[in-house]
Amino acid sequence: MIKKYAHQNHLFKNPWLWQGWRGFVWSFFLLPHLIFAQAEDEYETVKREILCQTIRFMIDENADSVQISRQVDCRTLESIEQTIPPDFSEAVFVFKMFKNKAYKSYGEGKIETRLNKLLKDLNTELNKVNRDRDWQENVNTLHVQLTETKTEILTKLKQGTYQKAETQTNLTANNKDTKPTNSTNFMSILITVLLFLLLAGGIAYLYWQNQQLQKQIGELEDQFQEKYSRLDNRIDTMTPIQDYKSLLLKFNFLNDQVNALIQEVMILKTRNEHKMSVKELVAKRTEYLEGYTYNPNLQIYYAKIRRDKGFFDPLEFKTEPSRDSIYKIEINLNNADQASFSVVTRNEFHQIALSNAPLMLAPACDYANEPYNDSRIVTLDNGLLEKRDMGWVIVKKAKIAFE
């Protein structure tokens, strides 16, 4: 498919451009394998150095001369195994135990995590060899040295300055010199080039995508401005926007009142009771509410404070108080973006609030006196609210006293 597209596009008629494009595409498939291969090389390199130092440590602790441990050839895992003196069985046992440990279940790319697990298991196994206090202290010192060695080698591998010859110290004269390999450096350079090509392609694609998005945003903005201007002109010919919002709030308030009355009338029709007058109906409906004189420009709700957010959520507004909804919110419809609030005056709704004052009262109120075995709450000064996107935010806390 790519080749077909390349022949149709005049940019790929040039064979050099086509070869470059094909190589760029193949880099997407080869990059993950190259990264995993480099990660495995790094893990094996550090593991070899850690095991070499561990084996030399075990030989030095049990040998009469340090020259015996220097006979261990650290160039490869196989050379280490072949050059361990057979008299040191514990060192042979530890090496065989950790020779093939890979810890791939921790993730092939998580080199440092796998090496930390190797160091932890190695330290645990060394502690089992001897329970002597001096041995335990030497093992702890070795663990610190191995951790520093791990960090140092990983840093050199990432910088491309590590050479395998660095680990071949104090070899015997019969060992042949080995040439430092540059596979790590070559792999690092190859990955750097591939990452640069990927980054360049991604930047070009993001730039093109950004240009397309800006073009679409400009077209949408022009369409929105045109539609908004038409709608704005129609609204201005009908009524001012501010008056329209005020009338809408009044209408919603009256509509709630009418719906509540209709529901109560429907309930009364299903019962064998005498027909109630309008005054009795209103009195029955408001017997559990706060004392209230009807004002068409005033809308009253009851709500609880959102203590985790510090504001009142309009979705939780109620038309009657409850044990949780103890705050009375009064909205002046002539200024619908501000409101005042206070604590309800009915004592039966104060008990839970007094028992949980830090959660229900402190976020919205200032105390004139500290609560102590009180039975009711008195509002000395109403608080102020301001309507924002999140809800009704407290601008000024209410001042209350406890009696």
pTM for the full model?
Answer: 0.37
Distance between CA atoms of residues 53 and 170, nearest Å: 13
pLDDT score of 30 more than 70? no
Average pLDDT for residues 58-68, to the nearest whole number? 80
Tokens of 395: 């601008």
Report pLDDT for 184.
62
Alpha carbons within 13 A on the beta-carbon side of 186:
6
Q: What is the DSSP string of 58-112?
A: HHHHH-S-TTTGGGS--SSHHHHHHHS-TT-HHHHHHHHHHTT---GGG-TT-HH
pLDDT score of 397 more than 70? yes
Q: pLDDT-derived band of residue 63, with 50, 70 and 90 as boundaries? A: confident
Which residues are CB-neighbours of 88 under 8 A, at least 6 positions away?
A: 58, 59, 62, 63
Report pLDDT for 386.
92
Confirm if 261 and 285 have CB atoms less than 8 A apart.
Answer: yes
Q: Which of 56-60, 67-71, 293-297 has the lowest mean pLDDT?
A: 293-297
Confirm if 303 and 316 have CB atoms less than 8 A apart.
Answer: yes
DSSP 329: E
**Residue from 340, 341, 337, 309 nearest 325 by CA:** 341
What is the rounded end-to-end Cα distance, in angstroms, of the chain? 84
Q: Which of 42-56, 102-116, 269-283 has the lowest mean pLDDT?
A: 269-283
Reported for 249-252, long-range contacts at CB under 8 A and 24+ positions apart, including other chains, are 249/299, 249/331, 249/333, 249/336, 250/296, 250/297, 250/333
Q: Whose structure tokens read 């002109």?
A: 233
Reported for 173-181, long-range contacts at CB under 8 A and 24+ positions apart, including other chains, are 175/73, 178/75
Report pLDDT for 104.
81
Distance between CA atoms of residues 94 and 62, nearest Å: 15
Report pLDDT for 377.
92
Tokens of 116: 């930390």
Q: What is the CA radius of gyration of the chain?
A: 40
Which residues are CB-neighbours of 316 under 8 A, at least 6 positions away?
A: 303, 304, 325
Distance between CA atoms of residues 402 and 354, nearest Å: 9
Confirm if 113 and 107 have CB atoms less than 8 A apart.
Answer: yes
**Residue from 372, 23, 338 nearest 197 by CA:** 23
pLDDT digits (tens, 9 = 90+) for 69-87: 888 888 898 888 888 888 8
CB atoms within 10 A of CB 363: 16
pLDDT digits (tens, 9 = 90+) for 230-256: 666 665 555 566 666 778 888 888 998
